[in-house]
Amino acid sequence: MGVGIEVRGLRAWFGASEALHGISVEMRPNTVTAIIGPSGCGKSTFVRCLNRMHETIPGARVEGEVRIGSTDVYGNGTPAVEVRRRVGMVFQKPNPFPTMTIYDNVAAGLKLNGFRNRRELDETVERSLHMAALWDEVKDGLKKQSGASLSGGQQQRLCIARALAVQPEVLLMDEPASALDPISTAKIEDLIYQLKERFTVVIVTHNMQQAARVAEWTGFFLMGDLIEFDKTQKIFTTPGDKRTEDYITGRFG
């Protein structure tokens, strides 16, 4: 089951330059939230702060509070490793592990977390590939084919399956379809729609139609500030802020 996300006063830096100027927002369990905004507005930085990936960049630093379910993400006793296990992430460019088979790609996270039971692994891999709508396409080459031998769209769904296999509570997707063709994009979007039954999904996207199609909630970022956060329908029909309106009507960005 998904859990809620609560962000309070989140600020993030790359070295001396501040990329997020105090973001506060609340996302409900089992919803899909789209994060939109022009390039460089801090969308990716924002989601990377939710699973503590931001701090893996040299010189990067975070302030503020993030709660995912009952976990205080930046709390003193919370290890980053634990946060990342509970908050899955899918990246812009598909990044399957090229030296592993399809099976091992999906099982990688489980093995890292100490799963060794053959049968349990088999079941989880199959279930995750089903959830990522990839099972039928790869079931024959599961333990023979390399993860890198798949097409781009399949690779991205493999990465989704890999993220789902560790049974996270939240799934972050950083422009998951921007490197894919329209058919693969449609498949991923269908998938996101189904995934919200089990997970809370946050998706960064450049594509406003995509946001409108998959998300119930939308946040608009501009130059490191969250300008507006509301129901997707409201954002796209009657935005409360002039800048949001300008952006979605294509006047800048």
Partner 1 sequence: MSVSLACELNTQKRPELHLADPQPNVSKLEVVASTTPEPAPQMRRPHASTAPDKIFKYLTVTAALSVVAVVLLIVFELVWHSRLAISKFGFGFFAGSDWDPVSGEFGALPFIYGTLVSSLIALIIAVPLGIGVAIFINEMCPRRLRTLLSFTVELLAAIPSVIYGLWGIFVLVPFLRVHVDPLLKANLGWTGLFTGPIYGIGMLAAGVILSIMVVPFISSITREVMLTVPQNQREGVLALGATQWEMIRTGILRNARVGITGGIILGLGRALGETMAVTMVIGNRPEIAKSLFAPGYTMASMIANEFSEATSQLYLSAIVEIGLALFLLTLVVNGLARLLVWMTTRGSPSRVYG
Query: Which of 95, 145, 167, 207 is in the footprint of partner 1 by CB under 8 A?
Result: 95
Q: Which stretch binds partner 1 (CB under 8 A): 16-24, 109-117, 205-213, 230-238?
A: 109-117
- Measured from the Cβ of residue 187, the count of other Cβ atoms closer than 10 Å reads 19
| Smallest distance from partner 1 to CB 153, Å | 9
| Smallest distance from partner 1 to CB 47, Å | 11
Spatial separation of the C-alpha atoms in residues 211 and 216, rounded to whole Å: 9
Residue 157 touching partner 1 (CB under 8 A): no
Residue 96 touching partner 1 (CB under 8 A): yes
Residue 103 touching partner 1 (CB under 8 A): no
Q: Are 210 and 182 in contact (CB under 8 A)?
A: no
Q: Which is nearer to partner 1, 111 or 139 (CB)?
A: 111
- At 133, phi and psi to the nearest 5? 55, 40
Residue 15 touching partner 1 (CB under 8 A): no
Q: Which is nearer to partner 1, 154 or 244 (CB)?
A: 154
Residue 159 touching partner 1 (CB under 8 A): yes
Q: Which is nearer to partner 1, 30 or 149 (CB)?
A: 149
Q: Are 104 and 97 in contact (CB under 8 A)?
A: yes
Q: Which helix (H) or strand (E) holds 72?
A: strand 71-72
Touching partner 1, residues 220-239 (CB under 8 A): none
Residue 132 touching partner 1 (CB under 8 A): no
Q: Which stretch binds partner 1 (CB under 8 A): 6-14, 61-69, 98-106, 228-236?
A: 98-106
Q: Specify the 3-state DSSP secondary structure of 73.
A: coil
Residue 150 touching partner 1 (CB under 8 A): yes
Residue count, binding to partner 1 (CB under 8 A): 35
Burial class (CB in 10 A: 0-12, 13-18, 19+), 99: exposed
Residue 187 touching partner 1 (CB under 8 A): no
Q: Which is nearer to partner 1, 159 or 188 (CB)?
A: 159
For the window 51-90, what string marks contact with partner 1 as x by the rule CB under 8 A?
A: x-x--x-x----------------------xx-xxx-xx-
Q: Are 67 and 45 in contact (CB under 8 A)?
A: no
242 Cβ neighbours under 8 A, 6+ residues apart: none
- What's the per-residue H, E or C state across 95-138? CCCCCCEHHHHHHHHHHHCCCCCHHHHHHHHHHHHHHCCCHHHH
Q: Tell which residue, 143, 137, 136, 133, has the closest CA to residue 104.
A: 143
Q: Are 192 and 198 in contact (CB under 8 A)?
A: no
Residues lying near partner 1 in the complex (CB under 8 A) are found at 51, 53, 56, 58, 81-82, 84-86, 88-89, 91, 93-100, 108-109, 112-113, 146, 148, 150-152, 155, 159, 162-163, 166, 179
